[in-house]
Amino acid sequence: MRTPEELISFTCSALDEVRARPPLVQCLTNSVVVNFTANVLLSLGAAPAMVDIPGEAGAFARIASGLLVNLGTPSAEQRDAMVEAVTAANDAGTPWVLDPVAVGFLPVRTPLAFALRDLRPTVVRGNASEIIALAGAGSGGRGVDSSDEVDAAMAAAYALAGMTGGVIAVSGPVDIITDGRELVRIDNGHPLLTRVTGGGCALGAVMAAFATVDADRFVTTVAAATVYTVAAELAAESAAGPGSFAVAFVDALSTVTAQDIARRAVLR
């Protein structure tokens, strides 16, 4: 078990490593958040690539550093591209993140989410209701919003880690991250993140970026969530509301330092 101090130290070095590389992150994501996700990655120091059509998605996944698959607005063409990209990523050893947006009772995305789950994502990121539904233990939340508390998803997160062999990140007022063996709670962040479209979706892309810096994806996922939520706190200090927060948050991702992380991170 890594201590909070060890995880914070890794987070500081991982942030520097992401900026030094920079990782090329392929995003098959929803149409609502494409621009915000790209700007988040650019501000962090990563390189976004929204390559999401069949015939290209698989080829690109083989050369990308990391891959995000987000089910927010899964058109028929994008669904085919997702399976193509994930298959290629698994073959090439490219780490990939699954964000099962609004999975549960919806009849198109839910079977797709289960099929992608069975392809063993490196990381699954979702709210509590999405994690519970993807584990086969519930019917989802209220659209894209969770109707469950983070702690209610604990058993589902452990079960899902067993199914995928990967890392599960449950987002909420307190983020929980587990690989089925270790578990960390991250007590950083700000409520304004929930008032900006793409606040959760872009986190999946950041997790894909951080997954490129170390083979231990538990610690890279903790690092990604810690940097993201500390940046949200920094942004909130100068924001007057959701609009100015969105701009300040993108700025904060580009300026957050290892010193900020060491001073502010609260991990348990």
- Give binding residues as ranges: 50, 125, 171, 198
User: Rounded CA gap, 34 and 37, in Å?
Assistant: 5
Joined together, the tokens standing for residue 87 give: 């298959």
Strands 24-28 and 47-49: parallel
Beta-bridge partner residues of 171: 127
**217, 122 in Cβ contact below 8 A?**
yes
Give the chain's length. 268
Binding site listing for substrate: 50, 198
Joined together, the tokens standing for residue 131 give: 């994690």
Residues with Cβ within 8 Å of residue 172, at least 6 apart in sequence:
127, 128, 146, 149, 150
Binding site listing for ATP: 125, 171
DSSP string, 86-143: HHHHHHHT--EEEE-TT-SS-TTHHHHHHHHHTT--SEEEEEHHHHHHHTTS----BT
